[in-house]
Amino acid sequence: MTKESILVIDDEEVMRDVLGRVLGQAGYVVAFAETGLEGLELARRGSYAAAIVDVMLPELGGLEVLE
């Protein structure tokens, strides 16, 4: 059985930890990025069923990442 992967992009470590724990317990494989640019690079290299993106990110905001 292949597990779905979710990309979490958030600059707050606490949020990454909480989302990683909850999603991991739900059976998802979770990849993390601390910045929008890092998240874009991970998205280009991988395949994700969904992304959870913080709107307020330094340098490149979450809405820009989603575009």
Extract the tokens encoding 52: 């959870």
13-36 pLDDT tens trace = 999 999 999 999 999 999 999 999
**Band of residue 2 on the pLDDT scale cut at 50, 70, 90:** low
Dihedrals phi, psi of 32, to nearest 5 degrees = -125, 145
What value does the mean pLDDT take over residues 45-67? Answer: 91
